[in-house]
Structure 1
């Protein structure tokens, strides 16, 4: 499924990049407490989405995963919904 509005995938990609950057920054780059607060704020905002909006975001993330060529970023994209608290972690 592709999103009709090109802004939604672009903003979703940026959101993922910000979270990836926050997770990968060293303590000398970003204060760890500030990074955690920012990620909690992002997670809270995403949880405020309506069920339809959440489903749309999950579809956009799935589309981004399909198109991603970088294995590390692909793995991060795949884990993003559970890492941010949008879906329950799937146990193997």
Structure 2
């Protein structure tokens, strides 16, 4: 299968958008434990990637964040790789 940068970008946008939903929805929409379980599962799946792929995801996220107009969502995208355990903190 040939690599498709647009495919990777669109899939990453979908993962981030659904993760944002689980992170921000309140318990009237989805029970907190169910949301947390889904967030943990996303982190688990992403951590199955190779180090090179984790770095690629982090790079893609930086590009997505740079183009994001909503400040709250931009911050979420900027911190997504760290929050999912894909990268170490900048100062370590």
C-alpha deviation, 1:4, in angstroms: 5.2
Unaligned runs of 5+ in 1: none
Counterparts of 2:87 and 2:80, CA distance in 1? 9
Counterparts of 1:90 and 1:31, CA distance in 2? 33
Greater RCO, 1 or 2 (C-alpha within 8 Å, sep 6+): 1
Alpha-carbon RMSD: 1.6
Counterparts of 2:68 and 2:60, CA distance in 1? 12
Counting matched residue pairs gives: 89
Matches within 5 A, 1:26-65: 26-65=26-65
Counterparts of 1:56 and 1:4, CA distance in 2? 13
- 2:66 — aligned with what? 66
Point out the more displaced range, 59-68 or 82-91. 82-91
Deviations 1:25-66 (A, max 9, x none): 111111111111111111011111011111111111011011
Deviating 4+ runs (over 6 angstroms):
none
- Determine if the alignment matches structure 1 residue 21 to structure 2 residue 18: no
Give TM-score, length-normalised by structure 1.
Answer: 0.87
C-alpha deviation, 1:88, in angstroms: 2.4
- Determine if the alignment matches structure 1 residue 81 to structure 2 residue 68: no
Give TM-score, length-normalised by structure 2.
Answer: 0.87
- SS of 2:5's equivalent in the other structure is coil
